[in-house]
Amino acid sequence: MKGILLKDLYIAKSGIIITLTSLFVLTFGLSFLLDVTAILMLAPAVSTAAVYISITNDASSKWNKNVITMPVTRAQIIGTKYILYILLSAVGIIVVLVSLGALSLMGITVTLYSMLFNAAIGISVALLAGGISLPCVYFFDAEKSQIVYMIAFVASTGIITVLVLLINIFIPVKNNILLAFYIVLAISFVWFAVSYKIAAYAYQKKDIT
Amino acid sequence: MNNALSISGLTKTYKDFVLDGVSFSVPSGSIVGLIGENGAGKSTTINAVLGLIQKEAGNITILGKEQLDNKTKEQVGVVFDGSNYPEILSPRRLNRVLKNIYHSWDEHTFLGLLKKLSLPIDKPIKQYSRGMKMKLAISAALSHNSKLLILDEATSGLDPVIRDDILDILLDFVQDEEHSILISSHITTDLEKIADYIVFIHEGKVVFSKPKDELTEQYGIIKCGAAQFDALDKSDIIVYRKMDYEWQVLIADRMAMQKKYPKAMIVPATIDEIMLLYVKGEK
């Protein structure tokens, strides 16, 4: 599993560096225009773009076929992409948090509340989008993985809206904004885990040629 | 003799193709060549052996195991018709990747093979020629103490010099009697050089599985006219083909046939000719 992850990092290395540098620059750039913590909404999902680069590369180089003959299980092969996805989301958040720390030292106001709120939305979007797109790219067309990812990204914002409206039936969201979005976050984590289980199960049965 | 690989009644159905009860084995210490035209079922057979596709029926025993678990996979080296490694990687990075996948990865063997085959270690694979990519794939397959090597069209599209280099590596590999090779190829002359057994698949079925020497030393082709063909005992004919000016008749024992038909022109049959007669001939 470590070897496959290492391969993914080698493939996506330049993509990861570009994305993280862009996030860093964007955080500083936005600090003069709006609430800078809003970048936390984008960071986790944007950082995961490199996963789709590695998926496309796996398909074009026929690595998918080769790796099945190696001493790794199909569940591990799928699991590696999910781990990479989580890792890159986390790295994206860390890069933005470090930038925010630097900005607050420079005197720009960064509140804990807005950080928690925006991060909850950002992580939820990333998990929901990943949970939709990762199985899709494995079962349909890996070459179109980046398009699938963008559609899933848009769909995830719609899902969050629906979830918030549903939560609002039981808990008044206006008075419990953080709680509502943490419930969404918890649901997103569960969805991501379920997505992995479904993908691993279905990949087990798939013919790879 | 133990078999490194045994396939029995392997069946897989596609919309337009059926792999129909394929059975053959790869004895330990031998090279088995899998031949057949495009779409005959060679790759489907290999894909089923490697667990890439789900079989519908049949049994596959690989290195004594019916399940291709990770421990068994450690001992099976696989080479497809491309390098099938991410082309952005260099062999040095590929070495690091594979070291973390195979418990039995032998870095010294891998680096030694790269050096022996003059493959630059820091050059991205995408800058390699096709021949270099195949040599790299074979080097990787030989670097985790493989006991069974499975090659699917690994020599296709390569020039004769590189093909010869690869055949030498394969022959070297089977010097150890515990090592075995299953190799599918269109290029039957390569198999004539190295294979101990030939398995011929046609339209999803095994037509024959025979020692190569039996095919090249005993099989023959009677080249004759219509009258001579009519005089032949039909039980001696495996298959025949009517050409523009002659009849070609495949027979199993050319020495015996030469005695039986002293006036007949009987020539040795190459594997290519045997394959062609089976595919295009009549029974």
Task: Tell me if A61 and B97 make a contact (CB, 8 A cut-off).
Answer: no
Where residue B62 falls (left for φ over 0; alpha for ψ -120 to 50; beta otherwise) is: beta
ipTM of the complex: 0.89
**Best of B47, B101, B150, B153 to disrupt the A interface by mutation (most A CBs within 10 Å)?**
B101
The chain B residue lying nearest A62, using CA atoms, is B84
Distance CA B217, CA A106 (A): 87
Please check whether residue A2 touches B, CB under 8 A: yes
pLDDT tens digit string along B146-192? 999 999 988 887 888 888 888 999 999 999 989 999 999 888 888 99
Please name which of A12, A182, A21, A32 lies closest in space to residue A98, comparing C-alpha atoms: A21
A 65-104 residues with CB < 8 A to B: 65-66, 68-73
pLDDT tens digit string along B189-248? 889 999 999 999 999 999 999 999 999 999 999 998 888 888 888 888 999 998 888 899
Distance CA A174, CA A196 (A): 33
What pLDDT is stored for residue A60 in this prediction?
A: 87
**Best of B78, B97, B110 to disrupt the A interface by mutation (most A CBs within 10 Å)?**
B97
CB B98 within 8 A of CB B105: yes
The pTM is what?
0.89
CB B84 within 8 A of CB A66: yes
Please check whether residue B78 touches A, CB under 8 A: yes
**Nearest Cβ partner of A61 from B50, B76, B87?**
B87
CB A192 within 8 A of CB A82: yes
Max distance between CA atoms of chain A, in angstroms, equals 57
> Considering only A185-194, B59-68, B125-134, B222-231, which range has the smallest mean pLDDT?
B222-231
Task: Tell me if B52 and A57 make a contact (CB, 8 A cut-off).
Answer: no
Domains along the sequence of chain B with CATH: 3-215 (3.40.50.300), 219-280 (no CATH)
Q: What DSSP line would sit under B57-109, residue for residue?
A: EEEEEETTBSS--HHHHHTEEEE-SS--S-TTS-HHHHHHHHHTT-TT--HHH
| Highest mean pLDDT pick, A45-54, A57-66, A187-196 | A187-196
